[in-house]
Chains A and B, each alone.
Chain A
Amino acid sequence: MSSQPAKGAQKEFRKRDLFYLVPLWVLSLIAPDPYLYHKKEFKRKDLYYLGAIGLAPLTWSDPHFHHVMVLAGIYAILALGLSLFMGYAGQISLGHAAFFGIGAYTTAILTTRHGFSPFVALWASVLSASAVAYLIGRPILKLKGYFLALATLGFGEIFLVMVRESTDLTGGVIGIFGIPWFSVAGFSFDTYLKQYYLIWGVVAGLFIFSKNLVRSKLGRALLAVAASEDAASSVGINVPRIKLEIFVLGAAFAGLAGSLFACIMSTANPETFGLGVTVPIVMMVILGGMGTIYGPVAGAILLTWLMDILSRYQEYSLPIYSIILILLLIFFPDGIGTRLNVRILYLIGYWAKKRKRDEGKL
């Protein structure tokens, strides 16, 4: 903003400024700092978030609120894993739903057919999803850009067909019913409130893990890979290996989410793990802000509530939903949080500069 605005307009502009600057300032207090990964220590804001998440279900003791937040938490785990792969390593995956499905089916089969406890099945799900990711990651991760997107999409579709057709193992199109509630050492998570704390506890744990991860050597290496693979390999980073590692980690997150999802929904069937879940998860990562840790969690909460609220518009819900998604993409291609923060900084800077200039003139 180098050009000098007309003198008459200045005073008017300042008053009007307050209308959006005040809400933006309030937002900036709440919204996470997008560039947090530079900083080492936990900020006070983190504690606020933790407190808000912990107290929210007690304030709104509505089971529906708990239920939607449980779903949001599961999406948050998924999005967190995907964000490490997409946001940090700069790759594209449209097949993440398949790992979600692998986790869910592993839990479903182990608990209903073989009588394992959900807690054991959870670890088995994480392992199986990671193992599959390791196997397919090797060939697939050689691809880039559109072709990587398409290959992962293809993997997702192949997974769905396998699930539908191997009737003996997965129950085919009918799926598996009667998966028990999640329980640890005899304590069963049988209400939505308990599940809420379970899921968000897991989210908080994974959140801290991811946060440490991206500040570690691996995390720095990932950022380098995302910026330029050639440059990264020239400074001695084993690019294929690091991509594979993060892919497997993302799949492990998804397997964990799938296992919890199966326990909460008590069913697993193929329709749940298709493109219908991939699109929202990827949107959560994008809208939250690529390359942030808060982003996917915030995106998950936002989109899950959006879907829930739109439910009441019946046949109009899907068109409205897609329009909102497209608009958000157009206006916030780097994520809502990121864009808001940048805009706030910019506006505050502009406002301060303007005041100084005015004072100087006065």
Chain B
Amino acid sequence: MKNIVSLLSVLTLIFVVWTSPAHVAEKPYKIGVNLEFTGPWAEVTKTVKNAMVLEVERINKMGGIDGHLLELLFEDNGFDPGRAAANMTKFTADKEIIAIVGPFEDNLQATTRAIAEREKITNMIICPSNPMVRSLKQKWAFNIAQSDIIVSQKLVDLSLARKYKKVLVFHGAWPLAQSLANYYKAFGEEKGMKVIISQETHKPTDIDMTPQIIKLKPIIEKEKVDAFYACTGGPPGPIICKNLRTQGIKIPILGTHAFGFGFIIALGGEAMEGVEFPAAKPVVFDQLDENDPVRPVNIDFDKRFRDRYGVGADQLAGYGHDTIGLIYDALKRCQGKVTRATFREALENTKGLKSCHGIYNYSPTDHDGLSKTDMVFVRIEGGKFKRFKLPGFE
């Protein structure tokens, strides 16, 4: 078995799009990437991978970290907790790997986080996992993306500024959407809003939401709700908007940060006009303030990403960029003494790192890097994302 494994790893080296210079004085720092390259998240993980490869190449061209190059090892976990866990042990067994990135899906993270905790290796989670897992306060897991808490807070700000008193939430039946809906209700009712969470839900694979919308229609009319919060991500977003408009419901629609992708507008077409949502900065990086610290980072990264892959960088590419940026920054601060433990210490002490999505700060009590100020308000206008400001809230 070992022979096969080693033979295959040789093959993989050829297979992975990886060009490291032949003469390397120091051993490279290895990072394991455990993502869903097949399954529903395939497109997402491909973008993240592209961004990570691009960034690692840039760092290696600059000479790496103290003469050490960075090296990424990719493994597909096929949307399967068993395989995700097996990949984790595969990476931890390789003593040269200092940190593991991924997985993407909430339910897989629970498993890998537990392993990371046990095996004492840093696990960088790109998408924040559901609050139940996060509340375990794990020492070795770090989150990259905006958490559901700050998205909900930002959205409550948006609703308050628009003077929405009653909002109907139609959420998806998966962990992140559920917790977004619950936090929105909690924060909104603190500020005196009335938030109705609908009993109806939808799944990521639902292709027609008309039946649910028809059931929601009487509620909307009876309760006179001011806005409709489509608490979802991916394709259901535009489907909901389309179905709402087809049913002749004209109230404003609020979205989540997961609406900030070009394909959402392409799918929804005209139905998406006027949808407002809190978005990550890369969505509208060209409309950021001149003095915004992350603007130059984004412009530079978008240009390089476009040159290499032919499409502009989006939020997800931004996450890939930020992950490598954080690793690079932490490794530099290790000052040559890189072990799994020192890397974790350094990463936990990350302060004020300017990257695509905003400014990252980790601390022993807070493993969510971003904060509310790292989001902006965005409206869809004329088939484009348009940033807008609300006085007093931003």
Contact = CB atoms under 8 A, between A and B. Distances in A.
Contact of A64 (B38, B73, B89, B110): B89
A128 interface: no
A307 B132 contact: no
A272 B89 CA distance: 19
A64 B74 CA distance: 16
Interface string A149-184: 000000000000000100000001111011000000
Given A269-B107, A309-B4, A317 B76 contact: yes
B210 to A, nearest CB: 20
B266 interface: no
Interface stretch (A6-14, A65-73, A229-237): A65-73
A67 B110 contact: no
Contacts of B4: 309
Contact of A308 (B49, B83, B111): B83
Interface in B86-119: 86-87, 89-90, 92-93, 105-107, 110-111, 114
Contacts of A172: 173, 178
A309 B8 contact: yes
B58 to A, nearest CB: 21
A173 B173 contact: yes
Interface centre among A63, A68, A177 (most CB of B within 10 A): A177
Contact of A266 (B2, B39, B74, B114): B114
Given A68-B86, A265-B81, A313 B133 contact: no
A2 interface: no
Interface residues of A, number: 36
Contacts of A68: 86, 89
Nearest to B82: A71
Nearest to A276: B80
Q: Is the interface of A mostly helix, strand, loop or mixed?
A: helix
Given A63-B89, A63-B93, A305-B1, A315 B83 contact: no
Contacts of A3: none
B143 interface: no
A314 interface: yes
Interface in B1-18: 1-2, 4-5, 8-9, 12, 15
Contact of A164 (B82, B136, B173): B173
Interface in A275-316: 276, 305, 307-315
A18 to B, nearest CB: 23
Contacts of A71: 82, 85-86
Interface centre among B39, B89, B178 (most CB of A within 10 A): B89
A253 interface: no
A59 to B, nearest CB: 9
A99 interface: no
Q: Is the interface of B mostly helix, strand, loop or mixed?
A: helix
Contacts of B82: 71, 265, 272
Given A63-B89, A308-B86, A309-B8, A175 B110 contact: yes
B130 A174 contact: yes
Given A309-B4, A312-B8, A174 B106 contact: yes
Interface centre among B4, B38, B49, B174 (most CB of A within 10 A): B38
A311 B77 contact: yes
B277 interface: no
Contacts of B312: none
B78 A311 contact: yes
A310 B81 CA distance: 15
Interface in A50-82: 60, 62-68, 71
Contacts of B336: none
Contacts of A174: 106-107, 130, 132, 175, 178
B194 interface: no
Given A267-B110, A317-B78, A60 B83 contact: no
Interface in A299-348: 305, 307-315, 317-318
Contact of B81 (A269, A305, A309, A317): A269
Contact of B74 (A67, A310, A312): A312
A267 B111 contact: yes
Given A173-B175, A173-B178, A312 B12 contact: yes
A271 interface: yes
A271 B83 CA distance: 13
Contact of B132 (A65, A177, A312, A313): A177
A174 B135 CA distance: 14
B79 interface: yes
A56 to B, nearest CB: 9
Given A174-B132, A314-B75, 16 more contacts: A62-B93, A64-B86, A64-B93, A67-B85, A173-B107, A173-B174, A265-B81, A265-B85, A266-B114, A267-B107, A267-B114, A271-B107, A307-B78, A308-B86, A311-B76, A318-B39
23 contacts: A63-B92, A64-B93, A66-B89, A67-B85, A173-B174, A174-B178, A175-B110, A267-B114, A269-B81, A269-B110, A307-B80, A308-B86, A308-B90, A309-B5, A311-B78, A311-B83, A312-B12, A312-B15, A312-B73, A314-B75, A315-B37, A317-B38, A317-B78
Interface of B: 1-2, 4-5, 8-9, 12, 15, 37-39, 42, 46, 49, 73-83, 85-87, 89-90, 92-93, 105-107, 110-111, 114, 130, 132-133, 136, 173-175, 178
Interface of A: 60, 62-68, 71, 164, 172-175, 177-178, 192, 265-267, 269, 271-272, 276, 305, 307-315, 317-318
**Sorted from nearest, which 9 A-B pairs have the closest CB atoms?**
A318-B38, A314-B37, A67-B89, A269-B107, A315-B37, A64-B93, A64-B89, A64-B90, A311-B75
